[in-house]
Structure 1
Amino acid sequence: MAYFPLFLLFLLLGLSLSPVISTNSEGNALHALRRRLSDPTNVLQSWDPTLVNPCTWFHVTCDSDNHVIRLDLGNSNISGTLGPEIGDLQYLQYLELYRNGLSGKIPTELGNLKNLVSMDLYENKFEGKIPKSFAKLESLRFLRMNNNKLTGSIPRELTSLSKLKIFDVSNNDLCGTIPVDGPFATFSMESYINNRLSGPELQGLVPYDFGC
């Protein structure tokens, strides 16, 4: 039975030599994002999954408690898709992904980012519908999704976002009527140009989504 301790020794040695992948959920979420992206200019080269947390990575900002509060990847020449893991960045306040080649659907899990103040997804290739889950982003002030390939109507659930100051969905393929309740009463028509929208709807009447 002397071979058992030797076997155990080799097992422990093997574990000690293997890469230590971060147990930090935010680091894991960002590493999952990196695996989905094409990065021809290596802007994500510093994203090392063996670190305890991602606060030393470029384009990532953390608070004093080492929680990720800002992701700055605007105009970074990246492409690919976003996955549900991005919803694990629960302390995120600023999500800047504008002017890239990102495609696919916008994950509904973005609605889990309750601390989000600004989300800039404009000038990409996102398609599909605007997630209704965005209505849960009660701290959101800036939401820009213009110049994509989004379809469907503007979710009426978004009228509950009382702090929303900027909303831009111009240059997509949205249809239906434009909400007028809540913060939508203050947005200019330039926020909606170059779509198939037929609003604004009449206040107090049930909206009808023409052509959707």
Structure 2
Amino acid sequence: MASPTCFRRRCAQLTLTLVLFLIPLVRGNSEGDALYTLRRSLSDPDNVLQSWDPTLVNPCTWFHITCNQNNRVTRVDLGNSNLSGHLVPELGKLEHLQYLELYKNNIQGTIPVELDNLKSLISLDLYNNNISGIIPPSLGKLKSLVFLRLNDNRLTGPIPRDFVSISTLKVVDVSNNDLCGTIPTTGPFEHIPLNK
């Protein structure tokens, strides 16, 4: 018969093994949790988000979500989906996201500053919504950004000077907002047709 010390040691080893096995599942779920928080903040009369099931290990099987080979979310495609509600700070947890497509909906509220965590973001398409507030200057940290389309909203304030340091920017559309101030003319803005 095993001694109590031996039994405790085996229990501790089994617990450690289970914890190590579950770590990848927890990591995968953090993206699902972030997206499910977005789902809860949106009104979805056409049920385009009905497949967004928070009990799954990761969201790669959900409609309108694309993942890479490591099951990390790289794309959210919810343009023209008749959604209303607001964006959530948890979107900033999608560290591998490259495309955030939420254009032509009725999304209100402000742009979360936490989007500055999306270091791989190539395209931020929030045009044709009802988004208000300022364009967060911290979005200037998105050094992979190529397309920034925020037109046809209710944004106020200036175009952040921080965008001048994004050398990859090719398209900036902030037209049909209530922006004020001067338009940047240096850095990538020297070559981009800017709609204001």
Task: Give the TM-score band, short-chain normalised.
Answer: 0.7 to 0.9
- 5+ residue gaps, structure 2, are 1-24
Letter paired with 1:112: N
DSSP-derived class of the 1:125 partner = coil
Deviation (angstroms), 1:132: 0.7
> CA–CA distance in 2 between the matches of 1:25 and 1:173?
36
DSSP-derived class of the 2:63 partner = coil
C-alpha contact (below 8 Å) 2:113/2:138 kept by paired residues: yes
Question: Do residues 126 (structure 1) and 131 (structure 2) align?
Answer: yes
- Aligned residue for 2:38? 33
- Aligned residue for 1:56? 61
List aligned pairs for 1:131-150, cutoff 5 A: 131-150=136-155
Alignment match of 1:42 (pick from 33, 47, 70): 47
DSSP-derived class of the 2:156 partner = strand
Letter paired with 1:157: D
Deviation (angstroms), 1:185: 1.1
Question: Root-mean-square deviation (CA), in Å?
Answer: 0.9
Deviation (angstroms), 1:75: 0.2
DSSP-derived class of the 2:75 partner = strand
- Aligned residue for 1:69? 74
Question: Do residues 179 (structure 1) and 184 (structure 2) align?
Answer: yes
DSSP-derived class of the 2:109 partner = strand
- Aligned residue for 1:169? 174
Tell me the alpha carbon deviations over residues 98-150 of structure 1, each in whole angstroms, 9 at most, x when there is no partner. Answer: 00000000000111100000110000000000011111100000000000000
> CA–CA distance in 2 between the matches of 1:80 and 1:89?
19
Deviation (angstroms), 1:187: 2.4
Taking structure 1 as the reference length, what is the TM-score of the superposition?
Answer: 0.79
Taking structure 2 as the reference length, what is the TM-score of the superposition?
Answer: 0.85
> CA–CA distance in 1 between the matches of 2:108 and 2:126?
11
Count of equivalent residues: 170
DSSP-derived class of the 1:34 partner = helix
C-alpha contact (below 8 Å) 2:171/2:193 kept by paired residues: no
> CA–CA distance in 1 between the matches of 2:41 and 2:160?
28
- Aligned residue for 1:101? 106
DSSP-derived class of the 2:96 partner = coil
- Aligned residue for 2:115? 110
Letter paired with 1:105: T
**Structure 1 residue runs of 4+, over 6 Å off?**
none
Question: Do residues 87 (structure 1) and 99 (structure 2) align?
Answer: no
> CA–CA distance in 1 between the matches of 2:113 and 2:160?
13
